[in-house]
Amino acid sequence: MDRMELQKVNMERDTESNSGESNEGGYTTGMNSEKGTFNSNFADEDDAESQKFLTNGFLGNKMLEEYEEEHNPGTTSVGMSVFNLGNAIMGSGILGLSYVMANTGIILFVLLLLAVAILSLYSVHLLLKTSKEGGSLIYETLGERAFGWPGKIAAFTSITLQNIGAMSSYLFIVKYELPEVIRAFLKLEENSGEWYLNGNCLIIIVSVAVILPLSLLKNLGYLGYTSGFSLSCMVFFVCVVIYKKTQIPCPLPLLDQHFANLTNSTVYVSPLMIHNESLSPEVNFMMDNAYKQTTGLDDAQVKDHSSSVEFESTSDDKCQPKYFTFNSKTAYAIPILVFAFVCHPEVLPIYSELKSRSRRKMQNVANMSIGAMLVMYLLSGLFGYLTFYGEVEDELLHTFTKVYKFDTLLLSVRLAVLMAVTLTVPIVLFPIRSSITTLLLPGRPFSWIRHFLIAAIILAFNDILVIFVPSIKDIFGFIGASAATMLIFILPAAFYLRIVKKESLKSPQKIGALAFLVMGIIFMVGSMCLITMDWIHNSTSSKHH
């Protein structure tokens, strides 16, 4: 009886298959309504290469059913997808771009920024095409189909390392900026040591109260609203950077020799922290107090000494923009720029949730997201550099705080950046959790307990890591030169060369992908060598001092 029923089912399936419309990959659009929806969602609209998503015989019927069960038809709009991908791109990297420009020059910076943005778009193109030919929207699965277990491990390691580095950099900002914002709100002259001014305590509180609840959402699409708000905060930041260019004078006041001799050698005082009649009252207030605190002079002594403070000579070139600059810090330029454009771990998850998804539509999402971030990066980097020139630090907000202390607008923008980077963490955490689940627990049904535990462990690990990281620049440099390069250059090109079989090795597409792969390898090896040499040089210099 069971065998007869099975034959009957097979005959009905054959009948439906014959009546359906066949495609290039051997699957039919008329098998049933579920598969028909699946096919229509993955069809490339108005695309000369229009065909079913699953091709080249990678998946059988059983794997097809598992894939459909794991990736239901997307429900996220294009706008929300742009917000999510833009939020994945935009983050703490924007704070270091003025520092990059100071160490490359304006023209070289613009050229590098455009080049990295274009290469990032090309990388997304390769990744989307490979996912179509490979029949999967999971990065690790593509790696496995390209190179077996080593490819899967390479994808998992790169995604995990890159996103943990990104999360750490965001939490790094929370650790150092949030206590200062709270102190400014409370109008405290210095950190008095309370728990609510302790950065380590605050990152734990923010992780538990804000990041973890948002990380428990099942799909990325739900984070579109928070991503939109996060991007609005960063737009506000860019606008304030542009506005402050008109408020901070140049040449900047400098320390004279008498002041330098009076200053405690263990306390660093910026050249910006000097009394200047042309600055706002908030700036003067901070400069006067910093001067008194570091020298121990009273008000009368400060007043007498202020007459001896000199400004940079207008003939000095420190207020002149540099167009091409090469120094030991230039080695960090490309890694920081690469780090600032990495969104590739989020591309496939966002693609899988895109409504009426197609490769062309997802490419448009990437074009809009990367294009918008390119403009914001250029504006923030340029005006931040033109404000402070050579005095700019690797974290732009730190540079502003040496000029302003209780400035309301700056306080608002610092709070906005804090909210932006905090709301970005759940977006970045999502691919790490998916990678861990794919690697360690493949084929398991969804579990809320596992969903929660993995997110909590990842957050706890990052909170611990942030305590021991010496500098945000070190995160940008090392991650940008290793994992970010793997995700943007090496893995998409290698997967494309291995999986896409219908193009010959001599085709322009394969030659381009091969050149992209070689470029990525050269860049990764060269950048890491330069950064290592810079670390050794700094370590040697510190020992001599």
pTM above 0.85, yes or no: no
CA–CA separation, 142 vs 348, rounded Å? Answer: 11
Taking residues 470-477, report their average pLDDT: 60
Residues 387-397 have pLDDT tens digits of 888 888 878 88
Residues 134-186 have pLDDT tens digits of 888 888 899 999 999 999 999 998 888 888 888 888 888 888 889 888 888 88
Residues 419-439 have pLDDT tens digits of 999 999 999 999 999 889 888
pLDDT at 340 over 90: no
Question: What's the confidence (pLDDT) of residue 456?
Answer: 94
Tokens in use for 414? 């610092």
CA–CA separation, 365 vs 359, rounded Å? Answer: 10
Between residues 182 and 37, which one has the greater pLDDT? Answer: 182
Q: Name the helix (H) or strand (E) containing 96.
A: none
CATH no. of 74-245+323-401+408-544: 1.20.1740.10
pLDDT at 475 over 50: yes
The three-class DSSP label of residue 298 is coil
CA–CA separation, 328 vs 534, rounded Å? Answer: 7
The single-letter code of the amino acid at 464 is I
The burial of 213, by beta-carbon neighbours within 10 Å (0-12 exposed, 13-18 middle, 19 or more buried), is given as exposed
Domain ranges of the chain: 74-245+323-401+408-544, 257-306
Residues 68-96 have pLDDT tens digits of 434 456 788 999 999 999 998 987 678 88
Tokens in use for 253? 């006041």
pLDDT at 372 over 90: yes
State the average pLDDT for the chain. Answer: 75
The single-letter code of the amino acid at 196 is Y
Provide the 10 A C-beta neighbour count for residue 246. Answer: 9
